[in-house]
Amino acid sequence: MPLAVELVSPERTLFSGEATMVRARTVGGGDIAFLTGHTPFVGALAISTLEITLVSGGSEVVAVHGGFIEVSHDRVKVLSDLAELSSTIDVERARRAEEKAQAAVARGDEVEAQGALARATARLAASGQLS
C-alpha cells in the first residue's frame, strides 16, 4: 500500500498524491525516510529539501523552509508555511539570492543572512541546480 502524501501550506494544498517513499530532513540535521508501515512520527523540518518518490516512478522535490511532518497510518502530512515545488522555483533568482547571502555571511552578518543562504541553497538543491 502506498503512502498518501499531502503537502499543505497555509494558503493551499500544494501537493497531494501517492508515494512509495518520502525523505525529509529534521531540525536535528539528519535525513529521515519514510516507507509504508513507518511508526507514527512527528518532526520539525529543517530548511532543506523534501523528496517524494512517486508511485508512478518519478519524484517530486520540494524546497521546504521549515515546517512539520506527521506520519501515521501510512499517511504523510507535511505542513510548511513556505514550501516550493521544484517546478515553481526560479533558478536564476535563487542563484542571485545565494550569492547575495554568501556575501552577507562573509561580511559577518548573523542569523538573517544565514537563513537566507539556507533557503537559497534549499531552492537550488530542489531544482537540481546545486553546484
Partner 1 sequence: MAGGQERILRRRIKSVESTKKITRAMELIAATRVVKAQERAASARPYSDEITAVIIDLLRAGAAKEHPLLRDNPDARSAAFVVITSDRGMCGAYNSNVIRAAERAMAVAKANGLGFSLIVVGKKAQKQFKFQGLELDAVFEGMTDQPIYDNARDVAATVRRRYETGELAYVDIAYTRYLSAGTQQAVVQRFLPLEVPEVDPNAGPSADLEYEPSPTGILNEILPRYLESRLFSALLDASASEHASRQRAMKAATDNAEDLKTLLSRTMNRARQDAITTEIMEIVGGAEALSSDKGDKDELLPSHLNSEHLFPDHLDRTDHTQSIH
Which spans of this chain sit near partner 1 (rule: CB under 8 A)? Answer: 6, 8-13, 26-28, 32, 39-44, 68, 70, 72, 77, 79, 81
Inter-axis angle of helices 91-106 and 111-126, nearest 10: 150
Q: Which DSSP category does 26 fall into? A: B
**Cβ nearer to partner 1, comparing 13 with 131:** 13
What is the distance between the alpha carbons of residues 25 and 23, in angstroms, rounded to a whole number?
7
Nearer to partner 1, 77 or 100 (CB): 77
For partner 1, the closer CB: 40 or 57: 40
CB of residue 71 to partner 1, shortest distance in Å? 9
Can you give the C-alpha Rg of the chain in angstroms? Answer: 15
